Amino acid sequence: MTITEKILARGAGLKEVLPGELINARVDIALGNDITAPIAISEFRRIGAKKVFDRRKVVLVPDHFTPNKDIKSATQCKVLREFAMEQKLTHYYEGGDVGVEHALLPEKGVVVPGDVVVGADSHTCTYGALGAFSTGVGSTDLAAAMITGELWFKVPESMKFVYYGRLNRWVSGKDLILYAIGDVGVDGALYRAMEFAGEAVRKLSMDSRLAMCNMAIEAGGKSGIIEPDAVTKEYVKRRAERPFRFYSSDPDAGYVEVREYDCRKIEPQVACPHLPENTRNVTDVGEVRIDQVVIGSCTNGRIEDLKVAAMVLKGKHVAPNLRLIIIPATPDIYREAMEKGYFDIFLKAGAVISPPTCGPCLGGHMGVLAPGERAVSTTNRNFVGRMGDVTSEVYLANPAVAAASAVKGRVAHPDEVCGL
């Protein structure tokens, strides 16, 4: 079996499972946020449920429109707060404790390797970087998981992506996943478990691995996953709240498809409007003037991302009439970036530093685009109207490209700012 099949078999209490098989599996974590959880809570009450299946395993994170941007968003968060207090949930975060959910949960050790995780947010696939099976579900499915502690799944076929060779300068996990999405398309891995492997992946940091698995959904994937190794162990051993188990794919495991990539041929990538599959080498994008740059999100708001941005921005200033918004993904990342002097670099460069929030990623707040405006963003989607007006445009890139673009006022390669 593949790693995905082994984890689902464990969750279902079965010796083995096969792709296409329908199973019921116990969930280790059920997650909701301030957009999706109020619907789940409404269904929870409509059904007549009184208690969640396990108050330690239901997690609520109001991160999308927080700090509350208006009365409606404040009301949404109030629903979560009151439910969390009523149910005495162990994992409820808000105010100075809240962060972007998919950065916060790994950091806190709430999700561990070997888990079955469901979340009413499509980027729940992020946790595959820890060696967990994690996938997004609808709000009514979340309600069912909150009540029963289990959900039905169709076991996905596994699709393997093997990366070999050394990474070029400025290339990170964000570029590897954008390159793959550009290759297979936004539905090229539809309902498949995307397994990332190869020497290049094994050398990636945990921050880069989280960025890769985060965007599996942008290829239509049911999940993304990386076999846990020494890097994973080092990350989780000082964080994990619960015992964890490392799974790996058998040498003779079956894959519906295998794709191989030579990383020596991969430059920093840019996904042009209006789909994540519309990828190009940054040097092939051309003269694209921009109005705003966003560095943050559940994809690239971690400390490694801010470090790279600070390297590019040090001693520089953003282009005239351009807005640079920096959004650390969690309070701990915020604090570490401040202590390491990154904030001083950002502020001297003319950036705005936001508290942890999803903010502009989904056109929420803290950087919504006006008609006709263009942005370079380290977020995960660039659909029509994703970050604001339907005539605005979003170019997805890694933090180094985003920072360089902020300095140049156009889509730019980091070497244009930092030199060779």
3-state secondary structure the chain: CCHHHHHHHHHHCCCCCCCCCEEEEECCEEEEECCCHHHHHHHHHHHCCCCCCCCCCEEEECCCCCCCCCHHHHHHHHHHHHHHHHHCCCEECCHHHCCCHHHHHHHHCCCCCCCEEEECCHHHHHHHHHCCEEEECCHHHHHHHHHHCEEEEECCEEEEEEEECCCCCCCCHHHHHHHHHHHHCCCCCCCEEEEEECHHHHCCCHHHHHHHHHCHHHHCCCEEEECCCHHHHHHHCCCCCCCCCCCCCCCCCCCCEEEEEEHHHCCCEEECCCCCCCEEEHHHCCCCECCEEEEEHHHHCCHHHHHHHHHHHCCCCCCCCCEEEEECCCHHHHHHHHHCCHHHHHHHCCCEECCCCCHHHHCCCCCCECCCCEEEECCCCCCCCCCECCCCEEEECCHHHHHHHHHHCECCCCHHHHCC
Give, for all 420 residues of the chain, the pLDDT tens digit.
Answer: 999 999 999 999 999 999 999 999 999 999 999 999 999 999 999 999 999 999 999 999 999 999 999 999 999 999 999 999 999 999 999 999 999 999 999 999 999 999 999 999 999 999 999 999 999 999 999 999 999 999 999 999 999 999 999 999 999 999 999 999 999 999 999 999 999 999 999 999 999 999 999 999 999 999 999 999 999 999 999 999 999 999 999 999 999 999 999 999 999 999 999 999 999 999 999 999 999 999 999 999 999 999 999 999 999 999 999 999 999 999 999 999 999 999 999 999 999 999 999 999 999 999 999 999 999 999 999 998 999 999 999 999 999 999 999 999 999 999 999 976
Structural domains in the chain plus CATH codes: 3-261 (3.30.499.10), 269-418 (3.30.499.10)
